Structure 1
Amino acid sequence: MIPEADTALAQCHGDFGPRNWLVRKLSGHGLAVGVIDFERSQVEEPVRRDLMRVVLQLTPHRPDLHAAFLAGYGRDLTADEWTACRAWAAIDCPAALRWALDHHHDEEIVGYARTVLEQLRRPAATT
């Protein structure tokens, strides 16, 4: 049995990922980034969806992006947050895969499921 994780509540997007990001290069240097599609937004543990997707879906093969995310987030994830991210991913992944198969074999979501399953097969990360 996994012990209950000590994680905080926050206002979360609920579907935070590249499909809901608007990115535009600025003249000179930098990027303008916007986020859309807030129908799943609610107060919840960030590890439930938003953090879980960033650390297990979007950055596992890109240490540079993982480091940039943590720098912007302002801290490393705690051991409890890592545990909770993995537990929520184990719940979310089959549902995402089912959704993808029901929606014309959405390859982006199938890829997400594969990436997450690959991460869940590995020993838990600590940062």
Structure 2
Amino acid sequence: MRETPPTELQAPHSGHERHREPLGGELGPAVRDLVRIGDAWAGRPDLREAFFSGYGRQLTPPETERLALESALDAVSGIQFGATHDDPELVERGRRTLARLRADGKETP
């Protein structure tokens, strides 16, 4: 039997679950949803802890690595898009993310 990918975010287990973005978007790892949320809790460990308390668990080491990778890709993409489309806030968010990743030695946002 062939497995079909789920159409929505699954309960948090391994972080390798895949989900479909609303409105027919692409499939991707569930941990990607945390990329932009991470900017909100940067420098606020209390917010990060509150989020993961509600999530029900901390990220696994592979999820943490994947989140760092997804964060870096999102940051570079945001800088490029923001510079091209005159969106200085997007450029700044991307730069903050890259600075945080460098300072933390790849730790997640």
Normalising to structure 1: TM-score of the pair? Answer: 0.61
The aligned residue for residue 120 of structure 1 is: 101
Q: How does 1:1-127 map to 2 (within 5 A)?
A: 7-11=15-19, 13=21, 38-39=22-23, 41-47=25-31, 49-55=32-38, 57-104=39-86, 106-121=87-102, 122-125=104-107
- Cα contact 2:101–2:107 (8 A) shared by 1: no
Shift of 1:120: 1.3
Higher relative contact order (CA 8 A, sep 6+): 1
Shift of 1:66: 0.8
Task: Please give the secondary structure, in 1, of the residue aligned with 2:19.
Answer: strand
Listed one character per residue, the Cα deviations across residues 66-123 of structure 1 (whole Å, up to 9, x for unaligned) are 111111211101111111111122222211101111122x232122112211221122
Normalising to structure 2: TM-score of the pair? Answer: 0.69
Once residues 125 and 90 of structure 1 are traced to their aligned partners in structure 2, the CA distance between those partners, rounded to angstroms, is: 11
Q: Percent identity?
A: 31
Shift of 1:45: 0.4
Task: Please give the secondary structure, in 2, of the residue aligned with 1:77.
Answer: coil
Question: How many pairs align?
Answer: 94
Amino acid at match of 1:45: P
> Cα RMSD (Å) of the superposition?
2.4
